[in-house]
Chain A
C-alpha cells in the first residue's frame, strides 16, 4: 500500500469511527435511551 492508500484508508476509517462515536456519545449524554412516546417530553 502506498502513502496515498494509507491516507485514504486512515481518513475513511477515522471519519466513520469519529462520526459513529460522536453520535453514540451524544445519545448517551442525552440520558434517556428509552423511547419517550408522544406525551412524555416537554415542548
Chain B
C-alpha cells in the first residue's frame, strides 16, 4: 500500500533547505580563489551573466520537474522522467540523478567530519599551537592518517569525528523532511549567516595589522580582490570558470533540488522560492565568501602570498592557510573555531540533501518506510565510505569527486534541460513552472531557456571534456602505484550504477505486477 508522501512545513523551510544544500565549502573557499585568479572585480561580470543565463534557468527547471514528479509520488529522476513519457529508457537515464548524489555523499561526509574535528581542535587550542605552514601541513596529514607524527599516531581521531558526523547526518534524515531536514536548515542557515557576518566584520576591521608593512592594509586587500582587470574578459577560460563556479555553487545538476521540490504541494510556488534560495546562496558566496579568506590572506601574507594561497587549492586554503591567519589575530582560537563551525554547518546542510534522493528513491519506488530506508542506506553508505577514508593518499577520494562532483553534474543538468524542453515540452513546462507562482518569469527567459541555457551547457560540457575529462579519464599524471586505486574507485562507481539500474528495473517490474506502474 502506498504511503502518504511527506511535505515541507513552510515555504521558508524549503528555501532554507535548498539554500543550505547550495551553500557549501565552495562558497567560502572556491569562489574567492577563482575571483582573485580570474580578473578580480571583472570576474563578477561573467559570473553574473552565467548566474542569469545558466544558474537561474537550471534552478527553475529543477524545481519545476521536482514538483511535477511529486504530484505522481516520485521524488527522484527515474520516476519523474518516467512519468513524463511512455519511453521506457528514460527512467534508466534518470539513474544518474540518484547515483550522482550518492557518490558525492560517500566522500563528502568524510571531508565534512574534518571541519567538525578542526572546530574541536580550534576551541581546545590545540590547532593554533602549530607554529608554521609546515607544521599545519603535518597536523592535517597526521589527522588524515597519511603519516604518523607528533600530532597524530593513527586514524583513530579522524574515525571518531567521521562517525559523529555520519550519525548526525542520518539522525536528521531519520527525523524526516519536516522534523529533520527542515529543522536543521531553519536553525543552521541563520546560524551560518551570523557566523559568516561575524568573521567578515573581523576581517574587514583588521586595518593594517603590521605597521611596518603599510601596503598590507584591508583597503588594499579589498582592492586585491575587487580591482577589475578587464583584459581578463577577453580570455574565454575566465568566462567558463565563472560559468563553472555558478553551476557548482547552486547545486544544480545533482538531483537534490528535484527531490526537495517533490515534497512541495502541487500548487506551491517554485519561481519565487527558487530565486530566493539562489539569492541567499549568492549572499553567502559573494558578500560573505568574498570578504573572509582572500582579504585576510592579503593582510597577513601580502599579494604574492594571497595568490599562492588562492592557487593552493580548496583544502589548503581552508585547513592550512586559514588557521595560520587566525593564529595572528587576538582570540584567534575563537575565530578559528567559528570558521570551522561555519564550514561544518555549510557541510551538513549540504550532505543531508545528498542523502535524501536515495531515501526518496527507496520510499517512493520500493515503498520502504523512513526507518527501513535510513538503516539500509546508512549501512551501504558507511561501507562505501571506507575506501575514500583508507585510500585518501592514493587519489580514491579525488576520483569519486571527479565523477560524482563534476562529470555526473554536468551530464545530468544537460539531460534535465533536454527532458524539460523535448520530453515535457517547453510550453507545458513553462505553464507548469508558473502554476501557483508568486511571480512571473520575465518573458525573455523563454528564449534563454530554449536556446541559451542548453547552448551554454553544451559549451561547458565541451570545455570540461577538453580541460579535465580527457586527461583524468586517461590517467594523465597518475603514478603507477595509484592506478589500481583509481580503477578501484571507477569499479565502485560502475558497480553502484549497475545496482541502481537493476533496482530501477526491479521496482518498475514489481510495481507493474502489482498494477501500480507501467511495464518495464
What is the interface of chain A, defined by CB distance below 8 A to chain B? 1-2, 4-9, 11-13, 15-17, 19-20, 23-24, 26-27, 30, 32-41, 43
Give the docked Cα–Cα distance between A37 and B269 (Å).
11
Give the shortest distance, in Å, between A23 (CB) and chain B (any CB). 4
Give the docked Cα–Cα distance between A19 and B274 (Å).
12
Other contacts beyond A5-B222, A8-B226, A38-B267: 12, CB < 8 A: A1-B226, A9-B226, A16-B282, A20-B276, A23-B275, A27-B276, A30-B269, A32-B11, A33-B10, A33-B11, A37-B7, A39-B265
Q: Quick one: which of A26, A35, A38 contacts B71, CB cutoff 8 A? A: A38
CB-based contact B265/A8 at 8 Å: no
CB-based contact A8/B71 at 8 Å: no
Chain B 206-249, CB within 8 Å of chain A: the 1/0 string?
00000000000001101101111000000000000000000000
Contacts of A26 in B (CB 8 A): 272, 438-439
Closest 9 CB pairs of A and B: A8-B41, A1-B223, A5-B227, A23-B276, A5-B226, A37-B265, A41-B267, A38-B266, A20-B279
CB of B198 closer than 8 Å to a CB of A = no
- Sample of 24 A–B contacts (CB below 8 Å): A1-B226, A4-B41, A5-B222, A8-B42, A8-B226, A8-B228, A11-B44, A12-B286, A15-B48, A17-B283, A26-B438, A27-B438, A32-B11, A33-B10, A35-B10, A35-B13, A35-B14, A36-B436, A37-B7, A37-B265, A38-B71, A38-B267, A41-B436, A43-B267
Give the shortest distance, in Å, between A41 (CB) and chain B (any CB). 4
Give the docked Cα–Cα distance between A14 and B48 (Å).
13
Q: Quick one: which of A2, A17, A36 contacts B265, CB cutoff 8 A? A: A36
Contacts of A40 in B (CB 8 A): 265, 267
Q: Quick one: which of B7, B41, B264, B276 contacts A9, CB cutoff 8 A? A: B41
Q: Quick one: which of B10, B220, B286, B439 contacts A13, CB cutoff 8 A? A: B286
What is the interface of chain B, defined by CB distance below 8 A to chain A? 7-15, 40-42, 44, 48, 71, 219-220, 222-223, 225-228, 264-269, 272, 275-276, 279-280, 282-283, 286-287, 436, 438-439
Q: Quick one: which of A5, A32, A34, A38 contacts B228, CB cutoff 8 A? A: A5
CB-based contact A27/B272 at 8 Å: yes
Contacts of B268 in A (CB 8 A): 35-37, 41
Tell me whether A9 and B222 are in contact in the complex, defined as CB-CB below 8 angstroms, given that A16-B279, A23-B272 are known contacts: yes
Give the docked Cα–Cα distance between A35 and B15 (Å).
11
CB-based contact B438/A30 at 8 Å: yes
B contacts with A: majority SS: helix
Contacts of B276 in A (CB 8 A): 20, 23-24, 27
Contacts of A41 in B (CB 8 A): 265, 267-268, 436
Contacts of B71 in A (CB 8 A): 38
Contacts of A2 in B (CB 8 A): 223, 227
- Nearest residue (CB) in A for B41 is A8
Tell me whether A36 and B282 are in contact in the complex, defined as CB-CB below 8 angstroms, given that A12-B44, A23-B272, A26-B272 are known contacts: no
Contacts of B227 in A (CB 8 A): 1-2, 4-5, 8
Give the shortest distance, in Å, between B316 (CB) and chain A (any CB). 26
CB-based contact B223/A23 at 8 Å: no
- Nearest residue (CB) in A for B436 is A41
- Nearest residue (CB) in B for A28 is B12
- Nearest residue (CB) in A for B178 is A35
Contacts of A15 in B (CB 8 A): 48
- Nearest residue (CB) in A for B274 is A23
- Nearest residue (CB) in A for B222 is A1
CB-based contact B438/A16 at 8 Å: no
Give the docked Cα–Cα distance between A16 and B282 (Å).
7
CB-based contact B286/A16 at 8 Å: yes
Give the shortest distance, in Å, between A40 (CB) and chain B (any CB). 7
Give the shortest distance, in Å, between B232 (CB) and chain A (any CB). 13
- Nearest residue (CB) in B for A4 is B228
CB-based contact A1/B265 at 8 Å: no
Which among B7, B41, B220, B228 has the greatest number of chain A C-beta atoms within 10 A? B41
Give the shortest distance, in Å, between A3 (CB) and chain B (any CB). 9
Contacts of B275 in A (CB 8 A): 19, 23
- Nearest residue (CB) in A for B228 is A4
Give the docked Cα–Cα distance between A24 and B8 (Å).
18
Give the docked Cα–Cα distance between A6 and B227 (Å).
7
